[in-house]
Structure 1
């Protein structure tokens, strides 16, 4: 799927496939340098982080294990409910492990803040965050992100794992969705 398949649903391409892959390689190099000699447990946040985590894991030279969590802070549509639920917990014990949470996007920061607190209570040796995208103008709480791809405007974005109504995740770029498709709210999970 590409831009021509999107027709009227796509407003514009915000970050190209080439820019995404270049940034993933850059982040992987930073992570490799910081974790030299240590194994990393990548914890992907489903479903949006699938693309980021797959490409990041392939770009890393450090030994990695991968696990997944699914959390939800949404009631319906694009507005946060303010309540976080674990839909799928980790399979692995993270006690004394070096955990790197991999996120597709940080919007309000509320879900990620809750997730970090939850994982910190499980006794990891370290815990850091790698996020591809962050919307600084949407932040309701500051979250320390050690590895950040791009700061973006507070617009509703799709592609590269990000969806609207489970569509558009397979786009190889990040684009803005035309407001007529989703009703105009810019809030997304994260």
Structure 2
């Protein structure tokens, strides 16, 4: 049985979402925003974030990439499993991710989305984790930075388990 060490409490998550939602709302005021959630991990974060935004025009879509499988380290083999359906040509795009870790997945997704010729692409992550960063990726909006550990809860998983935990934990096997 793994040990779960609390890293970010539920109330702190909500406070940080409110904070970055205000910044995003200010930055995109009067513009249409296309929010692209990265499945599966970002679905809870995206849902809570969208409800806090003060914008009139928001479209939501999803894409899915995988690099971890059932391990605690990235395989570095990034597989795009689901592409977007909405047209982002000439639009402002905000990619919403649960965690940016090595940066490899995010760099691959940004490269892919740029082929659709958007006006802009920015990154919003629940967690900006730089411990294993291998590719320079600029996270424009982050709820928090965590230096180390394998994290689960609030959408983050280990082998598809523990996404349902209401807070973020460091999991020790």
Q: TM-score range by the shorter chain?
A: over 0.9
**RMSD of the TM alignment (CA)?**
1.3
Match of 2:30 in 1: 37
Name the CA distance, whole Å, in 1 between partners of 2:85 and 2:139.
24
Pick one of 110, 115, 118 that aligns with 1:116. Answer: 110
| Unpaired segments ≥5 residues, structure 1 | 1-7, 180-190
1:28 aligns with 2:11: no
Alignment of 1:45-124 (within 5 A): 45-62=38-55, 63-74=57-68, 76-124=70-118
1:143 aligns with 2:137: yes
The structure that has the greater radius of gyration is 1
Alpha-carbon deviations, 1:59-108, whole Å to 9, x = none?
10112110000011245523323222210110111101110000000110
Structure ranking higher in helix proportion: 1
Name the CA distance, whole Å, in 2 between partners of 1:46 and 1:93.
18
Count of residues in correspondence between the two structures: 172
Contact 1:10–1:175 (CA under 8 A) maintained in structure 2: no
TM-score, structure 1 as length reference: 0.86
Instruction: Name the SS of the counterpart of 1:111 in structure 2.
Output: helix
TM-score, structure 2 as length reference: 0.94
Moved over 6 A (4+): none
Contact 2:38–2:63 (CA under 8 A) maintained in structure 1: yes
Alpha-carbon deviations, 1:30-53, whole Å to 9, x = none?
000000100111100000000110
Cα shift at 1:135? 1.4
Instruction: Provide closer, same or farther for how the CA distance between residues 38 and 113 of structure 1 changes in structure 2, counting only shifts above 3 A.
Output: same
Name the CA distance, whole Å, in 2 between partners of 1:45 and 1:75.
15
Contact 1:109–1:143 (CA under 8 A) maintained in structure 2: yes
